[in-house]
Each structure stands twice: as C-alpha cells, then as structure tokens.
C-alpha cells in the first residue's frame, strides 16, 4: 500500500472463521508515524457492511523490519476486507504506506 488515506479499503478475500492481517514496515508520509487503526469488515452485498472490530498497529513503525498484526475470530462466512480508520490518531490529512501486507485465514498457526 502506498500513500493510502483513511477510508482506504483492501481487496476482498473469502473467509469462514478467522483472519489475521500483518503489516510490515509502516510509515506516514511527511510525519513521524506511530500508529494506524485497522478495521476488519464483512462485505455484504446489498446490505451494510459489518465491522468485526478495530485493531491498533504500532510495531510496524519500528524500523525496517517492524511488524504488526491483528487477529479476528468467530467471523461469518463470506468476503472480508480491511479499512484504514485512523493514521496517527487522525481521521484525515495523513497518508500511510506499508511495505508488505499479508492476510492469513488459517487458524492452525495461531
């Protein structure tokens, strides 16, 4: 992800119960980055999306190998995506870049 703003939505993936979203090497354009809030959502066609909750990511801002992750359990079957809710605690005016984004839907390794 490069210079995304709050409200950015990821691509969709199918899941049935569990998702883990990893960010590696985060930075905020034009500012010292300290955190971003990631909201996992259930994409429901012709109905409002459902939020599974928001996780605060901070460790991915700690150097070139910094990683953060959020885990969400007991999801309904269907398409899911994440949305950036806050960057450095703000809902506007900042842009986030993440070198690597990984989505894991296998609970076996948790």
Across the chain, mean pLDDT equals: 93
Domains defined for the chain, CATH in brackets = 13-109 (2.60.40)
Specify the pTM.
0.91
Spatial distance between the Cα atoms of 34 and 42, rounded to a whole number of angstroms: 27
Note the pLDDT tens digit of each residue in 54-104: 999 999 999 888 999 999 999 999 999 999 999 999 998 999 999 999 999
Give every CB contact of residue 15 below 8 A, 6+ residues apart in sequence.
75, 77, 78, 79, 80, 105
User: Is residue 98 within 8 Å of 1, Cβ to Cβ?
Assistant: yes
Note the pLDDT tens digit of each residue in 23-58: 999 999 988 889 999 999 999 989 999 999 999 999
């Amino acid at each position: 992800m490069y210079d995304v703003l709050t409200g950015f939505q990821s691509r969709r993936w199918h899941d049935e119960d569990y998702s883990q979203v990893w960010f590696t090497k985060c930075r905020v354009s034009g500012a010292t980055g300290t955190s971003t809030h990631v909201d996992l959502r259930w994409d429901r066609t012709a109905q409002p999306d459902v939020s599974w909750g928001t996780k605060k990511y901070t460790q991915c801002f700690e150097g070139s190998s910094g990683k953060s992750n959020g885990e969400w359990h007991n999801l309904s079957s269907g398409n899911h995506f994440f949305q950036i809710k806050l960057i450095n605690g703000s809902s506007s005016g900042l842009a986030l870049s993440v070198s690597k984004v990984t989505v894991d839907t296998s609970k076996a390794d948790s």
